Chain A
Amino acid sequence: MTRSATAGVAREPAAGRRPRAVRRRAGAALEPWLYLAPALTVLMVVLLVPLGFGIAYSLRHFTAFGSRYVGLDQYRRMLSDPILGQALLNTLWWTGASVVLQFGFGLGLALLLNHNFAGRRLVQAVVFLPWAVPSFLAGLTWAWLFNPVIGPIPHWLTAIGLQKTPTDILAEPGIALWGPIIANVWFGIPFFAITLLAALKAIPAELYEAAAVDGAGVVQRFARLTLPFLAPTIAITVMLRTIWIATFADLIFVMTGGGPAGATETVATYVYVTAFSTLDKGYASAVSVLLLALLILYAVGLIRMRRRLLAMA
């Protein structure tokens, strides 16, 4: 019903003298664009134009005195950049581990909150709170927890025998990346919990009752009923979240700055640090173009895979 109503609004009635009707129709066609104009203008000027500049920068070499065109030199330089190689590998670890853990714990939390228990509303407010914490504060807070001077975690690790003396895991190249990953999991659980809980609430209760009558156990109900219903939400949130985390630099920048010795450098922090600290804007732009290309590849691959799965089904 609302559909046909829209059509009525969008299409001007044919009554009236012809030129006026035409003018009114042209006006009606322009109207939505007038409402969109401020938003589109700002995005164009502040994001799209700089994006174009960024791609152009990737072909130029910048020094303190100016820049010159170097063609694809900086792309060639990437091939033999060991830090970039490490950063690519770290980006995979950082993104993969963060998404899997955020999703797993987020789904668990959503399933818990879908039960009725005493104090559920208060619990919900408390466990969603990390979402509201500014990301740089989340990073600092966790960096402090890992700090042997004021944080408890190194002392706990020593107490259970995992460390000989309390030390900062953020300073140990082999495991440092787990610090930001844990902070990211803490920060990101609410996102998945909130979106998945909303999807869970949309599953009709009668279906569960019918399944229970048919004698389906908890596990069966979850696998045959809950998961298929959640699948669309899971697919879209995981895909978007993966892209978001792959480019999310705040936590790592605040907690380790990419160190020690590049052990926690991801492509996103590498772009930021290169542009910001070393002021090598040309190379930073080239690396960011690589990041964009990888993200597009990921998205295209995912869409293809989805199509193939749909074709198989």
Chain B
Amino acid sequence: MVVGRSSASRALGTAMLYAAVLGYVVFALFPLFWTLKISVTPTRLLYGHGIPLWPAITTLGNYVKVLAESDFPHYFLNSVIVSVSTGLVVTAIASSAGYALSRFRFRGKGAVAFALLLTQTFPLVMVIPPIYRIFGALHLTDSLRGLIVIYTAFNIPFATFLMQSFFDGVPRDLEEAAMVDGCTRLQALRRVVLPLTLPGMGATIGFVFTAAWSELLFALMLINDDSAKTFAVGLLDFIGKFAVDWGEMMAASVLGLVPACLFFALLQRYLVAGLTAGAVKG
């Protein structure tokens, strides 16, 4: 009797577990699915056909138009240049800083770590008015270089904590053994520590790439010239200008999701490290 009841309640528990899991999966995927659906729906089927889960006819015409007839390929290229450059520059600078925080004990270390944490909680909208004026004076508006500079600053603190955690993961005994064998500290760093932190550097580049790829507000403020527009700015302008071309807009959005999803797949293993390092980055 007792056994029967507990197995029944266990079955009920399992059913509830799967129902809850299904709920989360649907909630996570539905918005993306809907964007994909509209992007392959022919425009004439968009109106007056209700809201079917999948259109009767699908088309890739929207993608062809976005890739062949619009400025989006150019915007994508700009975003790739900005995001890759920011990823590389930040990772180089943050590796150096993360190494210092991981391997040295020195006066002021606590203060540096605290200051880095503080910049993470700092409302970035605060620097919008001054950055706009300063960058204007330095001719850094309407240029990809300006975006790289500002994104580099935004991402250094979080990337430094991330790199510090990767350096912490390399046992000190290894480099000390190399130094006992006659290597200088730099040689030990180059031959022993760096090869072991390469995957971590790759992950840091990925996190920074994703952050730079996603940034909108500063890009929108600093870029007016069509030749320097990033994907985010291009998409928002597109909405302003061609407010009703839903299919093309969604096709462009789906294309913009591709690099983010690719990096997400590659970064899965490092998500915990990444989120705890930059607890505020989202």
Contact = CB atoms under 8 A, between A and B. Distances in A.
B165 interface: no
Contact of B123 (A133, A152, A247): A247
B8 interface: no
Interface in A289-304: 289, 291-292, 295, 299
A101 B156 CA distance: 30
A268 B127 CA distance: 12
A39 B96 contact: yes
B272 A194 contact: yes
A40 B268 contact: no
Contacts of B153: 42-43, 45-47
User: Majority SS of interface residues in chain B?
Assistant: helix
User: Majority SS of interface residues in chain A?
Assistant: helix
B253 A127 contact: no
B163 to A, nearest CB: 10
Nearest to A184: B282
Size bin of chain A's contact surface: 35 or more
A117 B282 contact: no
Interface stretch (A73-81, A172-180, A203-211, A233-241): A233-241
Given A2-B171, A53-B134, A132-B260, A126 B279 contact: no
B136 to A, nearest CB: 11
Interface of B: 14, 17-18, 20-21, 24-25, 27-29, 31-32, 34-35, 38, 46-47, 50-51, 93-94, 96-97, 99-101, 103-107, 109, 112, 116, 119-134, 149-150, 152-153, 156-157, 160, 171-173, 176, 210, 213-214, 216-217, 220-221, 232, 235-236, 239, 246, 249-250, 253, 256-257, 260-261, 263-265, 267-268, 271-272, 275-276, 279-282
Given A35-B104, A197-B272, A281-B130, 12 more contacts: A39-B93, A42-B153, A43-B156, A51-B130, A53-B133, A137-B260, A140-B239, A145-B34, A151-B51, A241-B279, A281-B132, A292-B126
